[in-house]
Amino acid sequence: MSKWIRFRRQNSQLDEFGRLVDEVDFDEQRVKVCVGDLFDNNESTDEILKVKDLNLLTPCWPGKMFGLWKKMLEAR
């Protein structure tokens, strides 16, 4: 099964994604950069980067955020 990650290169504002190439210790992991849509049509490029040189991002960007608040003072 392929393992996908989202990342941002250092000194970049562009969010990218790719597929982990090999599963070794963290210092040696590499990712093959992909273009297109993460969940639909995507293609691998020839570019391979070291994971340790990337800023890892959450798997997807949340569409909504819910917050819960407990009224601590009223519970006393």
The per-residue pLDDT for range 63-75, each reduced to its tens digit, is: 776 676 666 555 5
61 assigned to some structural domain: no
62 assigned to some structural domain: no
User: What is the domain extent for residue 9?
Assistant: 4-56
Number of structural domains (the chain) is 1
35 assigned to some structural domain: yes
**Mean pLDDT value across the chain:** 85
21 assigned to some structural domain: yes
74 assigned to some structural domain: no
34, 42 contact by CB (below 8 A): yes
Contacts of 60 (CB under 8 A, 6+ apart): 6, 38
Give every strand in the sheet of 54-56, ordered side by side. Answer: 42-50, 30-36, 15-20, 4-9, 54-56
28 assigned to some structural domain: yes
73 assigned to some structural domain: no
d(C-alpha 76, C-alpha 57), whole Å = 40
d(C-alpha 26, C-alpha 35), whole Å = 23
Given pLDDT bands bounded at 50, 70 and 90, which one contains residue 13? very high
Predicted local confidence at residue 30, as pLDDT: 94
Q: pTM, whole model, 2 decimals?
A: 0.71
